[in-house]
Amino acid sequence: MTPGSPPTYPLAAVAHQPELLFALSLLGVAPAIGGLLIRGDRGAAKSTAARGLAELLPTGPDGLSAPFVNLPLGATEDRVVGTLDLDAALRGEVRLRPGLLAQADGGLLYIDEVNLLPDHLVDVLLDAAALGVVRVQRDSLNAEAPARLALIGSMNPEEGGLRPQFLDRFGLCVDVSAPQVPAERAEIIRRRMAFEADAPAFGAHWHAEQAALAGRLAAARRLLPQVTLPDALLETITTLSSEAGVRSLRADLVLHRAARACAALDGRAEATEADLRRVAPLVLNHRRDPRLPPPPSGSPPPEPPLPPPVAPPEQQPDTPPPPDAGGPPPEDIFAPSAPAAPLALQAFTPGRGEAGAPRLPAPRSVPDPQATRLDVPATLRAALGRGAAVPTRDDFRTPVPTEEGGRRVLFVADASGSVGVSGRMGALKGALLDALSSQGGRDRVALVTFRGTGAVTLLNWTTDAAEAEAAVRAAPTGGRTPLAHALVLTAELLAGVRGAELVLLTDGRANVPLSPGSDAWADALHAAERLRGLPTLVVDTEAGRVRLGRAAQLAGVLGARLQTLEPA
């Protein structure tokens, strides 16, 4: 522990997170694996475990613990990679002022909410983690600094995902959640309260386990250069990647490195197929093609239920029961078809130009004598404005970063039988796919469908276009139209979400009330009133010669723009 730093919760005391501890151990043995992404809800020990690993990394030449650097969410690129040392520049010297990556050299860089970072920063961080060096080429500066570090990013998937190209660059990924077994939760609380009450005593209590874990990691690091993986297992590696639908060869390389690290943790000088299969979920699950079925869980599938007894002919009904008289509604899965016109998303989005791009405020600069990043033209203008040819610190101007980030668009799609019978479901899916593909790489989308007796969130907030496409293509159709339920769920999903936009695709033929005895259409209009003022596009999917025009009424209550959906 670095003198003056707060006490660190021992990694050995983290309870009931075996996969997280295994993934951290692999990274602690072989940082060249390329970083670890931890996905899970808040309060699942993500940052606690990451900080605990830093305590077990090799100490530096000064005998102090390895550095643990927590990347602030609002950090600029200059703060991350380093920039020109302005004090040296005023003396005529060109020198690098190290950034956070260089400060984490030999230790661990932790990024909370990595999914909310700008793309270019994620790219820089992953480059440095892979190369072990950070290079800076700007402002007459051409320098580099060592950045041999273990990189850990964490995120809550409900707040949006990472783009596939960034997911692929994280060597390992583990999904965590807080235990739901009462006894396990009680044990976690008991340990945490003991740590907060007396951290030194808690550390002493866990000293033996912590020392054993540190010794195991140190022994594995020493053994790792001698660990081999038989050439015959390369085919197993490629088979595992191919079965997961992974295109990038990076997964194959990480499987090789992670299997060797797994063997080193067990004190063996040769990796086996069992090592490969042990690490495969950590390497492949976040790279898996979402259109493929999930991997087997390892437990045998349940036996199919016995068929119901066949009734005698005189007891068999002449016609099947209606879809909503008991069992689930019949399901059809329609293939997408091209709509006659794309959804006019840019037409209802305030503050955006014709192409739908966000209108950001013009960049500006402010005085900052301690600036680490200069707006050079503004700085020179300030100096010249007072009649000086050479700027001083009083002339320094730093650019104010503009807000960066994408839109949040919630698509709510009617998947009831009326849309399917009208032949509009294919066009509806086609319009959805077209709209999803038009979203920028930083835009986050979510998808709600409603049918039968309720509405479901088919896709949580994500920037992953492939995941969104798979969800749309697999969406079933059939049953009644619980429009009010969908609008209630929409309000719940968008509560507290700033700047969200809504696209509602429906024929408006609500026929499922919120409560027995109430009117389904009145319930829908009442639920829509809660969403009034939200930037909304209503897409009318109604077909046929007799049309009720309810989507138009709904748009009026919502204060939304209206567009009709016509097949091509």
Q: pLDDT tens digits for 405-437? A: 567 888 898 888 766 555 566 666 666 666 655
180 and 267 together in one domain: no
| CA–CA dist 110, 102 (Å, integer) | 13
Residue 548 lies in a domain: yes
Let me know whether 172 and 262 are in one domain.
Answer: no
β-pair type (133-138, 141-146):
antiparallel
Looking at the structure, do residues 282 and 386 belong to the same domain, yes or no?
no
Whether residues 65 and 206 share a domain: the answer is: yes
259 in the same domain as 196 = no
Tell whether 139 is covered by a domain.
yes
Residue 334 lies in a domain: no
- For residue 474, what are the domain limits? 345-352+405-564
Is the predicted pLDDT of residue 566 greater than 80, yes or no? no
Q: Inform me whether the pLDDT recorded for 501 exceeds 80.
A: yes
The pLDDT confidence band at residue 261, using thresholds 50, 70 and 90, is: very high
Q: How many domains does the chain have?
A: 4
Q: For the chain, what percent of residues have pLDDT higher than 70? A: 73
Residue in the structure block whose two tokens are 């100096």: 383
pLDDT at 487: 94
pLDDT confidence of residue 345: 53
Residue whose structure tokens are 């919760």: 9
Q: For 73-90, what is the mean pLDDT?
A: 78
Between CA 418 and CA 115 the distance in angstroms is: 38
Query: Which candidate, 19, 13, 11, 18, places its Cα nearest to that of 174?
Result: 19
Averaged pLDDT, 551-559: 90
Who has greater pLDDT, 267 or 66? 267
For residue 292, give the DSSP letter.
Answer: S
More confident residue, 212 or 354: 212
- Report pLDDT for 360: 34
The pLDDT assigned to 309 comes to 42
536 shares its domain with 429: yes
Per-residue pLDDT at 316: 38
Q: Sign of torsion, CA 310 315 320 321?
A: negative
Q: Which CATH number belongs to the domain containing residue 36 in this structure?
A: 3.40.50.300
pLDDT confidence band for 377 (50 / 70 / 90) = low
- Which among 171, 191, 225 is the end of a domain? 225
In this predicted structure, the answer to whether residue 313 has a pLDDT above a threshold of 80 is no
Range name among 141-145, 292-296, 317-321, 526-530 with the lowest pLDDT average: 317-321
Are both 246 and 169 inside the same structural domain?
no
CA 167 to chain centre: 9
Run of H or E residues at 538: strand 536-540
Say what the pTM is. Answer: 0.60
Give residue-wise pLDDT tens across range 440-458. 455 677 888 898 888 988 8
In this prediction, residues 393-414 reach a mean pLDDT of 73
In the listed set 225, 250, 276, which residue is the last one of a domain according to the structure?
225
Task: Examine residue 205 and state whether it is found in any structural domain, yes or no.
Answer: yes
Reported as a pLDDT band with limits 50, 70 and 90, residue 178 is confident
**495 and 442 housed in the same domain:** yes
Q: Is residue 431 part of a domain?
A: yes
Percent of the chain residues topping a pLDDT of 90: 30
Confidence at 561, pLDDT banded by 50, 70, 90: confident
Residue 55 and residue 26 in one domain: yes
Q: How many CA atoms lie within 13 A of 78 on its CB side?
A: 17
Checking if the pLDDT of 252 tops 70, the result is yes
Pair 197, 258 in one domain: no
Say yes or no: 198 and 273 in one domain.
Answer: no
- CATH code assigned at 420: 3.40.50.410
Helix 250-265 to helix 273-284 angle, to the nearest 10 degrees?
Answer: 130
Stretch among 200-209, 288-297, 475-484, 504-513 having the lowest mean pLDDT? 288-297
pLDDT at 433: 66
| Four-CA torsion 266, 271, 277, 281, nearest 10 degrees | 70
- CATH number of the domain that residue 265 is part of: 1.10.8.80
Q: What pLDDT, in 10s, does the model give residues 57-67? A: 887 665 567 88
Positions annotated as catalytic residues are 250
Q: What average pLDDT does range 362-378 have in this prediction?
A: 69
pLDDT at 242 over 60: yes
2 assigned to some structural domain: no
**pLDDT interval class at 92 (50, 70, 90):** low
pLDDT of residue 47: 85
Q: What is the pLDDT of residues 5-27, one digit of tens each?
A: 678 899 999 999 999 999 999 99
Average per-residue pLDDT for the chain: 78
The whole-number average pLDDT for the span 353-365 is 39
Report pLDDT for 157.
75
- If one compares 295 and 121, the residue with the highest pLDDT of the two is 121
pLDDT of residue 120: 78
- Reported as a single tens digit per residue, the pLDDT across 118-160 is 877 888 888 888 888 888 876 556 888 898 888 899 988 766 6
| Each residue's pLDDT tens digit, 194-206 | 999 999 999 999 9
Residue 114 — pLDDT band, cuts 50, 70, 90?
A: confident
pLDDT of residue 415: 84
| Final residue in a domain of this structure, among 176, 199, 225 | 225
CA-to-CA separations, 519 to 6, 277, 468, in angstroms, rounded: 59, 55, 34
- Cβ of 193: how many Cβ atoms within 10 Å? 10
- Residue 359 domain-assigned? no
- How many whole angstroms separate alpha carbon 295 and alpha carbon 246? 13
| pLDDT value of residue 211 | 94
| Residues 190 and 155 placed together within one structural domain of the fold | yes
pLDDT tops 60 at residue 506: yes
Q: Which of 97-106, 215-224, 331-340 has the lowest mean pLDDT?
A: 331-340
Report for 85-89, 381-385, 505-509: range of highest mean pLDDT: 505-509
Q: What is the pLDDT of residue 60?
A: 63
Q: Please check the confidence at residue 335 and state whether its pLDDT lies above 70.
A: no
Quick check: is 527 in a domain? yes
Determine which helix (DSSP H) or strand (DSSP E) holds 381, and give its type and residue range.
Answer: helix 376-385
